[in-house]
Every structure is written in structure tokens, then in C-alpha cells.
Structure 1
Amino acid sequence: MRFLKLKPLLGPSIKTFSSYNSTQRFSYITFKKLKHNINLVGCCQNYVLQLHTSSVSFKRRKTGEEKKADRVLEYHKVKGEIVEVWKDITVEELAKVLNKDVNYVREIFLHEVKSPKTVISDMKFLQQGIRRSGRRMKIIAKPANDIEVQIIEKDAFPRPPPSKSELKSRPPVVTVMGHVDHGKTTLLDALRHSSVVDQEFGGITQHIGAFLVVLDSGAKITFLDTPGHAAFSAMRARGANLTDIVVLVVAADDGVMEQTLESVRMAREAKVPILVAINKIDSPKADVERTEQMLLEAGIQIEKLGGEVQAIPVSALKKQNLNQLAEALVLQADLLEIGADPKGLVEAVVVESKLDPHRGKLCTVIVQRGTLKKGNILVAGVCMGRVRVLRNADGQIMNEVPPGYPTEIEGWKDLPSPGELVLEVESEKRAKDVIKVRESKLEMEKQEQDAVVIAEKQAHHEKEYRERLQLKRSLGRFKLRREGPRAPEIPKDDDPTPSLNIIVKSDVDGTLEAILNALDTYDSPECKMDLVHYGVGAVSENDIELAQTFKGIIYAFNTTCPKNIQELAENSGVNIKFHNVIYKLVDDVKEEINSRLPQKEQEEVLGEATVLQQFEINQGRKKVPVAGCRCVKGTLRKSALYKVVRNGQVIHEGQLSSMRHLKNEVDSIKTDLECGLQLQDKTIVFQPGDTIICYHKVTVPQVTSWDPGF
């Protein structure tokens, strides 16, 4: 055994390293000095010696045949087939891509990967392995089916339906529906002995109210009061989908109206039993029999006319026959055997959501399964929250909410949309995973929609190209000449079309949806209307900046504006308009549109005359035609404009050169007087029976033709 002393060679800062066998002779010894490290490599016949400042290692040197085999394995068929791979692909997925087994994948990676679930994140390492297999790789996005599997695995879903033995009785959810101003809220007011109708602006319910009513008999019923106004059809549809029984309120003096028929349609689509309350029987114009006949024509067969639907005549204002209505509801609920499972994870439905300036993001839900408690972690759509406080419709704090009961939840991070399904999850991590996969699903849907638009544009460009190519070939040019780049188009600021930019802020999400649906019906080309921003809550400083930038108007619907924001708006010249009834807001938008429309010219008829005979008079050497007429309507004025109408068609428009009564030149002719009219155009030939209309043009303000449907 001989020793190789490296210390004198490398310097005093390096320790003396181990020895090597006497049979191993080094062919060369080299070293290089770096900033903080010294590496020395020695080679002998069969081994490679690698020395570092802190370690020494021996590695067997490969033979020439082994190196040749490695080169063949690594570079064999470099121009082979292309396989599609993606980042973070697993060994198992790569085996499917290569159409090989897992052992083959281990071999091409020199057994440096072990488990089939091992994720290959190093793209260079992945490329080396694929090159050893004689293929080339192409990096693509992860296939959608894998994302869909991930969504199925990580998304939250309602539990399977409970067995009949697990069901416990719960209060029925009753939705009150009907036409506007037929007394729905007044009826609920009478049932729960409150004064809800006094709080509704203009006597119109602006959002869905959910509250529990304890009847005199002790029975509990959860009522949903849906708006009857045409603008709230989407909210009424959500009410029908939440409910067990629909109470259709029909006024005895009005009968079946448009929203009444729509409510019947929604209830039938939701397959919910209907109970009719014929309200306002105390009205002098009440006609119960006529209303019952109208219900029959609408397809609702009441018991009195041989059907199965109960119809109770009531007076919500004078509280007549309310006990009969309550008994009918309890009887209908008993027949339906309404029950729910109060155990396990909570399932609920969002009725309404809003932003409170003091309590934050709130939403009203009706629990359908499980028992909601403080601290529960909930997911609704892509929103999550931890329950901080539970309140009933009267604002009282609740410790727990069993199935069938409504409650208002505090603790949401974002506002869930009305109609969303609320599910309880085990932890915040689980909730974040659910939201992540749901957002991925929404992104995939958006990409699919974008792909359709892109394909349509591509087809349009292809069609234009082929048409242009066909045109050039028809001219004898068989090659399509490449056109030079076009100069970028400068946007035109002098667009004559007027525009209205608006920002909408509302108290609750459902009312905001109804406003947006009403504004979405505007499609008139007379004036552009752009919705710059919308949201739930009070007017903020950001809204003022947006309105100032876009020169828009802020509509605050049943919400507030802090004093400092109001002062900022006044200083910035931003107009904030407050409303609490939706049709008044729409009327205000119409007025703003009308004020921006330019005035238009309109013809105003002054009088009409009938041609009796044509005369010809001499003017110099020419004969000029003159119409002998009788004024049959209004007054004819010489300075006005005239139309000659023959067989319903206008054959001439122009001015007069002469108007005479008898032999005198006059300025006007009244009704039943005869006159002679000479036009400035001397080529017009009159015929008996022609109509001459005297008119002048006036400018009048334009009115938009927008009709939102109410």
C-alpha cells in the first residue's frame, strides 16, 4: 500500500486525503481551484477518483463498450415519434402515453424512479428518459379529463337521499306568489301579526323575505314572500324551487293577471302543489265567481268546480277566513308527509344575500338537511365562510337552525348568489380545495365558450380569404399576392351616437339581479348604454372615481352613501341618484336617455286641398299650369311646404310661387274656400282628384322606444 500525499500539491488549506491501492496507477492528476472549493479528479485504469475539499469518493470507470451502449441507448432514433407529455406527469401516466408498462419507464430512467405515482417535475430529466426510448416529446397542457377526475374527487356534493327512518318532521316551506299589488305581503303581515308591508317602498316587495310563522294552532310554517313585479321573475323562480307548497294569491277584483299565469307555470315546472287564496273579497268590485272561472281557464281546477286544488276566499286587510287558510296549509303539509334528516353535514339554499356596512357580508338561507350551528364551515358556489352569528327574521340570535327554518348567516368571505346550494365541509382546507376545483371547472367552461368564438372567427376569416382568392383568380391572378401591413386604425372620438354610462349599487344581490335583467333588455341603437360597474353595498370612493372617469351616473337602489363620499361626488361633479322602487329607477334611466337624444324634425300638417281642375296661364311666352283647388281641411299658407299626392303616392314636394283667391294674391286660404295654387316647379301636371297637403317642419325631442316590459 502506497500513499498519495496531496497536501503539498494542493496547498496548506487542504487536508491530506486517503490512499489508493498500489495496483491502481493514475494516468493523470488534474485540479482546478474555484472561489470556495477545490476539486481534484484522478484517473487510473479502472477507477475515477474525485476529491473535494470535504469528501473523497471512488467510482468505477466505464469500459468503452459500456459507453458505446449508453450512447446508442441515449441517441437511438433521435427523430422518432413525438409523444405528448405535461408538467408533473406521473410514471403511471407516462407509461400510458408510451403504451408501455411501468417497468419499461423505470428502465429508461435508469431505475431512478420507483413508485408508479412518482411525479416527474424536472423537464430535462423527463426529456432524457424519453430520448432513451427513441422518441421525442411535446409539452402540452394537462388533459381535461384528468382535471375532471380531480373535480369529481375534490368537489363537494350533497349526500345521498336519507332513508325514511332517518326523517324527522319539519316546518313546510310555503311560497306566496302572484301578481303585483294582489296583497301577498299584506296576507303574510296578517298571518304573523307584523307590519312588513309598511317597510316596502311603494307597496312593492323588492326582495324575497324568508321568515318563520307560528300559527295560533301552534303549527310552524316557513314563508317565502316573492316579489310579484315583472322585474323579479328570476327571484320568483328561485322561490318556487325552494318550496313545498305554493300559495297563489289572486285578487277578487282583478282576477288572473300576467304574473299570476307566470307563477302557475313556475309552480308546475317545480312540481309543487298549489293552494289558491282569493284575496280582497271585501273590495266593492270583488267577483269571486268570475275569479274562479278565470282560474279554471288558466288550468287550475279548484274543488268547487270539481278539481283538487283548494281555493279559500280571504281578506288580508280585514283578516277574514285566515284560520281556514292556515288549516288548509297544515292539512296539505300533513298529506305531503314533509320531513328531513337533522343529522350530518348541513345542506341549505341561499335565498338572498346582501352587504351590511356594519356586519359585513350576509346571506339568508333555508336549511334543508342537517343542523346549522356556529362555527360550521360552509361552501356555496365559489364562496366560503365560517358561521359567526345566526339570526332569525326578527334579528334575534339563534344557537342552531334545524331543517325547514330560515336564518341569516354572518361570516362569509364573499357574497354567494341567490339560489346557490350551501354545503358544509369538514375544514377550511377542504373548503379551499372545493373552491379551487370549482373555479377550474368555470375556467374550463369559459375556455370552451372562447374556443367556439375563436372557431367562428377562424371560419369567417377562412371564408373571406377564399372569396378574395376566387376573385383574384377570376381576374387571371393564380397566386394570391401578399398584402402589406395595414396601418392601425385610430379610434374615432367624434362618434355622433350619444351614450349613457351608469353604475348600479343595490342593497341585496337579488334586487341587483332584477335591475340588471331590466337594463339588459335595452337594445336601442339610438343611444349607447354601458354598465360600467355594479355591486352590492353602499356607494364607495371607487364608484366615484369610475363615474368621474367614464362620465357616468351612479344609481343607488335602497342603499346609502356616506357623507364624505357624497361630498367627494359633489366636488367631482358626479351625479348620484337614489331610488327604492325599481320602475322609478327605470323611468329615470329613460329620462337620461331621452335627454341625450338629439331633436328630430317632424312634419306638422296645416291644411289639405283637393284639385278640382288644372288651368294654364301665360307667363311671357310659356304656359304655366295652375291647380284650381278647394281647401277641405285646416289652413293653406303660402310660405309653407306642399306635397302633391296622387293615388296614395307623393309625386312632388316643394314650395308655392303663387297663391290666389279670385284675382287677388293672398298669404292664406281657409277651409271651404277655392283658390289657385302655382308651384315653383312648373313641370308638374295636376289631375282632378289630386290632394295637396300644406305642412311645415318642426323640431321635437326624441323619446326612446325602450320597453323593459313593465
Structure 2
Amino acid sequence: MAAESKGKERKKLSLSDKGTLSLKNTPKIPDRNSGGHGVAVEVRRKRSAPSQTTQEDAQKDRTLTDEEREARIKALKSAEMEGASKPETSLPKPPPIADAARKKQEDERRRQEAQEAREKAEQDKQTAEKTAAAAPAAKEADIADQQAAENRKATGRKTAGYRVADEAAESEESKEKKKLAAPVKRGEKRRDTGRLTVTQALNRDFETRDRMPSLAAQRRAREKERMRMLAEKQKIEHVKQVREVTIPEAITVQELANRMAERIGDVVKKLLEMGVMATANQTVDTDTAELIVQEFGHKSKRVSESDVEMGMLGDDDDDENLKPRPPVVTIMGHVDHGKTSLLDALRQTDVAAGEAGGITQHIGAYQITMPGGQKITFLDTPGHAAFTEMRARGADVTDIVVLVVASNDSVMPQTIEAIKHAKAADKPIIVAINKCDLEDADPEKVRSELLQHDIQVESFGGDVQCIEVSAITKKGLGELEEAILLQSEILELKANPDRSAVGAIVEAKLEQGRGSVATVLIQRGTLKIGDIFVTGSEWGKVRALMNDHGKPLKKAIPGQPVEVLGLNGSPNAGDDFVVVRSEAKAREIAEFRTRRNRALEIAKTNKTGLEHLMHHMEKGNVKELNVVVKADVHGSVEAINGALLKLTEDNTEVRINILHGAVGGITETDVTLAQASGAVILGFNVRANVQARDLASKEGVEIRYYSVIYEAIDDMKALLSGLLSPEIRENMIGYAEIRQVFSVSKIGKVAGCMVREGIVKRGAGVRLLRDDVVIHEGKLKTLRRFKDEVKEVREGYECGMAFESYDDIKEGDVIEVFEKTEHARELE
């Protein structure tokens, strides 16, 4: 078996007919001297890809034994000897195949060039005949003919490329044979040398490998292609893309640049050219943003975030769906004119007794039922000067204004203010002259003074109803109710109860155990438990409804005041109250309003300009009193803030700074804020919890409690007065005349004086007068009598005086002695 395997391997390694390169039957080429002059054409078959040795054969070749290797070497040597001993044949050499193929390709290329030249000449000739004159055209035609003749001659010679009769061609051919072969360039096809080595036989893919470009060449080719593509891209003209930029109400410079796809630096530069100094994070208004968009060649589209509020109030109600509703009556007038007492008489209750200080400090909303079944809703507003906003709000949500005037006090400042609010809101007025049971009552005086303010009562020929009433004796209450019903019939008050509720916040407060509670006056629709609503920047879901007597309700109809529980936060008094269809809608509207309020606050703090800079410069010299205000209802917070700011609006030395004002009890957060800023905490009808009290006592924070608003205002006024710098006053205490001047070595010049009037004290202020002109003002350095230092010298005695840092004294000068005293000032 071993011998057979050796024989097989030996046979495989021998050079058989397929492996030897020998001359076989070649095509017979006729003699060039014969008369046939035929052309020898070689038919070459397509070279097939060299077969690849399998991994198994390669593995076998790598593991040859010594005997097999020696057998292979012997076989190779015997083959070489046989080739050398074989006689050379006398057959004629075949023509060089590679040279013939190359010549054929060159002839074909030259023929194509001649054809192209001929076509080009003909085109030039036609063009010349049309555009040029006859002589130049003929000249060009001759040139074209000569070129065509030469090309035909060249083509005729090259078409007979293999004619053996052409001796010139034969000599050229022999010369080219003698020439050395040109070096083969990388990437070109190599000529077959006619020899085959063992290495080449074992590695048949060498030709393919050598023909492939190197990795560096491939990288260079890719880089060249990339540069070519980049150059083509740069040649394309850049066309700017015009965008439609959406501009909201407020937008930052960075966001505007992103929406335009422009650089932030370019946008800031354009703003500077327009005179607007802004950074990337600052907000610009809609008009400025629109101008910037137009400057950059884009299209602008204004949108408003307030679009979320569109359709919130619903469509207008049809007349056929409207039904009569109770009138809303606001009682207004001066403080202590009996508004709440009159309302108590109408309700047959005693609200005024429960008010601190006997004055109303909240808006109270009540509803009474008449004997005939009609209902009237009353709003009681404060009469104190601090509650201007409350009165204005009451006039806005009301239908009829009842102006209460005391018959013994006549028209007062808040009465005039109430008249202005009613006229501004375009509401009808009914005058109720109260306290007519008093002895000094003078209703006629009231009527005549009302004429000065354009209130003409019916008794004076006007259209304003005037009723004389008394809350104590209940005189005229029926007539007042009839007047209100009559006026409501004239106004034809109607509303649609079969729709979602719309109302207004009359008052809002924060109660322990109940959370945020809002007093709402329903104006349209019906409010039910479970409704989702939006009020100001807050939203919520109705958890409970209470009437003015504290009884729970299932629903509230138009014209009815109710307390609503279920708010997420405390709204502001005067905010609208609207029921929406979903919680998502309510949250979206509330978030938009919160963002809007925050943007307005930021806009206030970011004011620029000369006036703002001057304000900050002045602020450095102004003393400030920081205050944290906490109250039971929002209306009280509003009233206190307005009254405190009014105290210092005309003062340039002191200013009150309200750090925080909110509804609810005093908490640790309020104490921490006050401690950090050195503020005073003002609690109006609220108290601090245990933790806040302990922290305040530990940190030394002052908390002041009040239940009457004018007491709080007077106290804050006294604190502001203490911040005022005291008033300096001069008191003349004596006069002295200089009679003689002495020179003392250690002291300098000393004036010997006689005290003419008053008293002279050491350390007092002095003025030196010469011919009734003040020439020096300073202090006494020394005061002596008979060489002894004394504290004072009285009238009629002589003394010696010396001035601090001044020696220009003469006989006859007068010394005026005075003292400066400080006097506390009060805030006006």
C-alpha cells in the first residue's frame, strides 16, 4: 500500500504533458516571399482563472517525507535533461503574439483618431462657410483636405498591418524585436515569460494578487474621489432656505435663533444694530422678534399661548333659554355709616357685632328671601380707605349699588369714592339715608350734597331712588326692598341655568381642615359637586358647596353666592370662575396663566433704562422696612399691602418693602424668610403655629398680630417714623465779646472774653463773628477761669477761650455759643 501511495504521489509530482511547456503543432505561416501575402491570425482562447489548491493538498505538500522530496527532485532533474537533449525543430518561429496584438490596438486607435479628425474638420468647414468670408473658407477647406489625405494614407498603411511584402514595416518590426521590453507598470497585465517555477505552480493566485492596488493606493483613490465630490458640491450655488417661524408672545433670543436655524451671535448682532441689548437667555417681545425674522429673510407667524383660553366661556346664550335670576346688590358707603347694620336688619341677624373694631374687613355675600318668594343677593363691602380694591371689585360683579349715607354725617370721602366706582362700572344707584332715628339727622342736607357729585334723587327731579331708613328701628326697610326689586325688573336680569357655570371670586381664604375656600358668585349656569373648574392660575374639583348660612348644597344657580371647597391653591379675589370639560384642560389653562404671571414678574424686575438706574442709585441711600404680611383672606392681604405702600410713596428717605403676602397662618417658612431679611411679620386675623413661634423666639424675629386694619397701619407708620433721621435743631445758649488776645505757648492764641448773655459751655459749638459776618464755626478747645479749667461760665463773668485749629481772633470779635439737639420726626 505504501508503494502504491508513493507511486501515486510520484506521478502527481512528475511533469506530464499538461505541465511541460513544449512546442506543438503551431499554425503554419506562409513564406513572406511567396505570392500569397496572406495575414497570419492567431486565435487565442480566453485564459481561465488558475485553479486554487485546496487546503487539504496544501496541507499534504507541507508534510512531505524525505523520500518523497528526493523523488520529486529526481523527477525534476530528469525532465530538465530530457528537454535539453531534444533536438531543436527547424520550423519557422511564429510571429510575436503580444507585439501583433499591441500593433493591432495601436492601428485601431489611430484609425479612430483619424476618423475623429476628419469629422472635426468637416464641422469646422461648415462653420467657417457660414460665418467667415469666401477666401478664409477656401483656405480652411484646403487645409482640411490635406489633413484628410494624410489621414487616408496613414489609415491605408495601418490597415495592412500584417502584410509581409512591406519591407519598411519588416525593418521596424525587427528593430522593435531587438529593443528591450519596457518595464511593466504597477496594475498593468504582465507578459507570460514562458517559464513556470514550483513556487508559481503552488501559488497560482500570484497574478491576481499582484494586479490589485495596495491599501495606500486605495486610500489615495478614496481621498481623491472625496475631494472631487466636495469641489462639485462647492460649485453648486447655496440657496438659503426660507422658513416659517412661529413667534409666541414671549420668546428668548436663543429659541428664536433655533427656530430660524441661524447662529445666536448673528441674531444678537442684529439686535444690537436695532438698538436692543439682549443676551441669548433674555426674552424679547413679539414685535422685536418679528422684525428680526424679517431681517433674516424668513416668514413670521404670530401665535398666542392664550389660545388655550379660547372657547372657555362657551357660546352666548339664546334668549329662549334665559330665565329670571335674583339681583346682586352691593352695599357701599363710608366707614361707620351703618352698612353692615342695615344688612343685619334686612337679614335679621347680627353680623356687625362679630366684626373686629365694629368695621367690616371682608366682602360678605348673603342671600335673603322676601315674603313674596323673591330672592336678593347682597354683597357687603368695607368702607375703610384701605379697602379700595374690594369696593371696586364689588361694583364690578354687582347689578345694583345701594349707597348708604349717614344722615348726621352727610357725604364723606369713601362715599365719593363709592359713587365713582359705581359710575365707572355703569351700575344704577339707590341711595339709602341711614340713621334717620337720630336727633341731629338731616336727610335734606344729604340730598343737596349728593347733587355736587352728580347724584340727583327723585325728589329733586332726578331718576335716582332715595329711601330714608333706620337699621335700629327698621324704618324704611320694606321700601328699600321694593326699590331694589323695582330696579331689577327694569334691568330685566336673566341667565341660562342649563349650562356649565361661570362666576366670579368674591373672596378667598385658607382654613384649617378645609383647605382653600373661595366665595363664588354664580353669574351663569349651574355649579354642581364634581365639576372641574379654573379660577385665575388655580384649578380644582368641587368637593362641597356651602350657602351663606353654612349649610351644604348640591348645586348653585345663577345669582347665588356659595362657598366652594376643592381648590388646589388660593385664588385672588376678583378672578373669574369657569367650569371646564376635563381635568387636562383645566391644568393646561392654569399652567399657561402661571407662566404668564411669572413672565410679567420677570419683566418688571428686568426693566432697564435711565429711570431704573436712578431708582437703584437712590435706593442705596433709602432706609427700608421689610415686612411679611399674612392674613385670613386675600382681600385683607390686598388692602394691607396697598395701605402700607401708600405710606411711603411720597417719602424719599424711607421705603417699605413687602417681601411676601399670602393667605393663611404664619409658618416656619415665613419666620425663616423674615430672619434672613430682618423683616417684621404682620399677622392679620391669623396666628403662628407652635413650630413657627419657637423658631421666632429662638431667632429673635418679631411677630405682630392685628385684628383691625387701621391699627396695623398706624403701627407700621410708627416703625417707619423711627427709621427717619432725626431733625437737628440749634439752640443759642450765650454770647461773649473778646476784650483781649493772649498768646500761650502750648495752646496758642487765647481770647479773654466777657460773657454778655446766657451761658458758655465747654464742648459747645461756637461761631466767630466779625462785623456781623460769620468767619469761623467750630468747637471750644479750652474754657478757663483764673487759669483753671471749668465746664461753664455764666453771664457777667470773664473767661478765657481757645478754638480748635483756629487762631485768627481779634479784639472786638463776638463769639456766639450754641447747642445742637435732635428731635424725632414723624411720617406724614
TM range (shorter): 0.5 to 0.7
Q: Residue 530 of structure 1: CA displacement?
A: 3.1
2:423 equivalent among 263, 268, 272: 268
Q: Residue 575 of structure 1: CA displacement?
A: 2.2
Is the partner of 2:688 in helix, strand or coil? coil
Identify if the C-alpha distance between structure 1 residues 567 and 282 changes in structure 2 by more than 3 Å, giving closer, same or farther.
same
Amino acid at match of 2:425: A
Query: 1:371: which partner in 2?
Result: 526
How big is each residue's C-alpha offset from its partner over 1:126-155, in whole Å with a ceiling of 9 and x where there is no partner? Answer: xxxxxxxxxxx99x9x9995541x632554
Is the partner of 2:553 in helix, strand or coil? coil
Separation (CA, whole Å) in 2 of partners of 1:250 and 1:446? 40
Query: 2:204: which partner in 1?
Result: none
Query: 1:338: which partner in 2?
Result: 493
Separation (CA, whole Å) in 2 of partners of 1:143 and 1:399? 54
Query: 2:706: which partner in 1?
Result: 579
Query: 2:824: which partner in 1?
Result: 701
State how 1:671-686 maps to structure 2 within 5 Å: none
CA contact (8 A) 1:548 1:574 kept: yes
Given the two structures, how large is their TM-score scaled by the length of structure 2? 0.56
How big is each residue's C-alpha offset from its partner over 1:530-553, in whole Å with a ceiling of 9 and x where there is no partner? Answer: 333221111112122222333332
Q: Residue 405 of structure 1: CA displacement?
A: 0.6
Amino acid at match of 1:503: V
Amino acid at match of 2:505: V
Identify if the C-alpha distance between structure 1 residues 271 and 654 changes in structure 2 by more than 3 Å, giving closer, same or farther.
same
Separation (CA, whole Å) in 2 of partners of 1:143 and 1:195? 67
Matched, 1:318 2:473: yes
Separation (CA, whole Å) in 1 of partners of 2:551 and 2:630? 28
Query: 1:210: which partner in 2?
Result: 365
Amino acid at match of 2:821: V
Is the partner of 2:505 in helix, strand or coil? strand
Matched, 1:173 2:325: no
Identify if the C-alpha distance between structure 1 residues 618 and 510 changes in structure 2 by more than 3 Å, giving closer, same or farther.
closer
CA contact (8 A) 1:616 1:626 kept: yes
Q: Residue 555 of structure 1: CA displacement?
A: 1.3
CA contact (8 A) 2:548 2:562 kept: yes
State how 1:661-680 maps to structure 2 within 5 Å: none
Is the partner of 2:362 in helix, strand or coil? coil
Q: Residue 513 of structure 1: CA displacement?
A: 0.9
CA contact (8 A) 1:644 1:653 kept: yes
Separation (CA, whole Å) in 1 of partners of 2:773 and 2:460? 59
Amino acid at match of 1:411: G
Is the partner of 2:417 in helix, strand or coil? helix
Q: Residue 447 of structure 1: CA displacement?
A: 7.4
CA contact (8 A) 2:433 2:467 kept: yes
CA contact (8 A) 2:726 2:825 kept: yes
Report which stretch shifted further, 157-166 or 405-414: 157-166
Q: Residue 435 of structure 1: CA displacement?
A: 2.6
Matched, 1:241 2:241: no
Separation (CA, whole Å) in 2 of partners of 1:415 and 1:595? 35
Identify if the C-alpha distance between structure 1 residues 268 and 577 changes in structure 2 by more than 3 Å, giving closer, same or farther.
same
Q: Residue 594 of structure 1: CA displacement?
A: 4.0
CA contact (8 A) 1:192 1:215 kept: no
1:562 equivalent among 689, 694, 697: 689
State how 1:225-240 maps to structure 2 within 5 Å: 225-240=380-395
Matched, 1:637 2:792: no
CA contact (8 A) 2:529 2:543 kept: yes
CA contact (8 A) 1:502 1:532 kept: yes
* Alignment gaps of 5+ in structure 1: 1-8, 10-66, 90-95, 99-136, 462-494, 659-665
Query: 2:635: which partner in 1?
Result: 510
Is the partner of 1:566 in helix, strand or coil? helix
Matched, 1:593 2:748: no
CA contact (8 A) 1:155 1:434 kept: no
How big is each residue's C-alpha offset from its partner over 1:488-538, in whole Å with a ceiling of 9 and x where there is no partner? Answer: xxxxxxx99754332111101111111111222335454454333221111
Which structure carries more relative contact order (alpha carbon 8 Å, separation 6+)? 1
CA contact (8 A) 2:621 2:653 kept: no
Is the partner of 1:342 in helix, strand or coil? coil
Q: Residue 616 of structure 1: CA displacement?
A: 9.8
Amino acid at match of 1:514: A
CA contact (8 A) 2:742 2:752 kept: no
CA contact (8 A) 1:502 1:555 kept: yes
State how 1:51-66 maps to structure 2 within 5 Å: none
Separation (CA, whole Å) in 2 of partners of 1:511 and 1:700? 35
Amino acid at match of 1:515: I
Separation (CA, whole Å) in 2 of partners of 1:412 and 1:144? 40
Separation (CA, whole Å) in 2 of partners of 1:355 and 1:460? 39
* Alignment gaps of 5+ in structure 2: 1-54, 56-225, 249-258, 262-292, 615-619, 744-748, 784-791
Question: More strand by proportion, 1 or 2?
Answer: 1
Separation (CA, whole Å) in 2 of partners of 1:145 and 1:596? 54
Identify if the C-alpha distance between structure 1 residues 459 and 240 changes in structure 2 by more than 3 Å, giving closer, same or farther.
closer
Separation (CA, whole Å) in 1 of partners of 2:773 and 2:662? 55
Separation (CA, whole Å) in 2 of partners of 1:526 and 1:151? 42
Identify if the C-alpha distance between structure 1 residues 143 and 506 changes in structure 2 by more than 3 Å, giving closer, same or farther.
farther
Query: 1:24: which partner in 2?
Result: none
Query: 2:548: which partner in 1?
Result: 393
Is the partner of 1:418 in helix, strand or coil? coil
RMSD: 4.6
Separation (CA, whole Å) in 2 of partners of 1:441 and 1:655? 63
Separation (CA, whole Å) in 1 of partners of 2:769 and 2:362? 57
1:81 equivalent among 240, 246, 252: 240
Separation (CA, whole Å) in 1 of partners of 2:811 and 2:480? 79
Separation (CA, whole Å) in 2 of partners of 1:73 and 1:198? 93
Query: 1:501: which partner in 2?
Result: 626
Amino acid at match of 1:700: H
1:425 equivalent among 562, 580, 590: 580
1:192 equivalent among 339, 343, 347: 347
Identify if the C-alpha distance between structure 1 residues 259 and 652 changes in structure 2 by more than 3 Å, giving closer, same or farther.
farther
Amino acid at match of 2:676: T
Identify if the C-alpha distance between structure 1 residues 80 and 506 changes in structure 2 by more than 3 Å, giving closer, same or farther.
same
CA contact (8 A) 1:654 1:679 kept: no
Amino acid at match of 2:706: H
Query: 2:201: which partner in 1?
Result: none
Is the partner of 1:532 in helix, strand or coil? strand
Separation (CA, whole Å) in 1 of partners of 2:676 and 2:624? 14
Separation (CA, whole Å) in 1 of partners of 2:631 and 2:344? 25
Q: Residue 292 of structure 1: CA displacement?
A: 1.6
Separation (CA, whole Å) in 2 of partners of 1:289 and 1:685? 75
Identify if the C-alpha distance between structure 1 residues 696 and 143 changes in structure 2 by more than 3 Å, giving closer, same or farther.
farther
CA contact (8 A) 2:530 2:541 kept: yes
Identify if the C-alpha distance between structure 1 residues 599 and 323 changes in structure 2 by more than 3 Å, giving closer, same or farther.
same
CA contact (8 A) 2:666 2:689 kept: yes
CA contact (8 A) 2:244 2:301 kept: no
Identify if the C-alpha distance between structure 1 residues 72 and 232 changes in structure 2 by more than 3 Å, giving closer, same or farther.
farther
2:659 equivalent among 526, 529, 532: 532
Matched, 1:352 2:507: yes
Query: 2:376: which partner in 1?
Result: 221
Separation (CA, whole Å) in 2 of partners of 1:193 and 1:205? 17
State how 1:91-130 maps to structure 2 within 5 Å: none
Amino acid at match of 2:680: I
Query: 1:544: which partner in 2?
Result: 671
Equivalent residue pairs, number: 535
CA contact (8 A) 2:545 2:565 kept: yes
Q: Residue 324 of structure 1: CA displacement?
A: 1.6
Separation (CA, whole Å) in 2 of partners of 1:527 and 1:358? 40
Query: Quick check: which has more Rg, 1 or 2?
Result: 2
Separation (CA, whole Å) in 1 of partners of 2:528 and 2:386? 35
Q: Residue 331 of structure 1: CA displacement?
A: 1.4
Given the two structures, how large is their TM-score scaled by the length of structure 1? 0.65
Amino acid at match of 2:435: K
Query: 1:92: which partner in 2?
Result: none
Query: 2:483: which partner in 1?
Result: 328
Identify if the C-alpha distance between structure 1 residues 428 and 643 changes in structure 2 by more than 3 Å, giving closer, same or farther.
same
Report which stretch shifted further, 398-407 or 597-606: 597-606
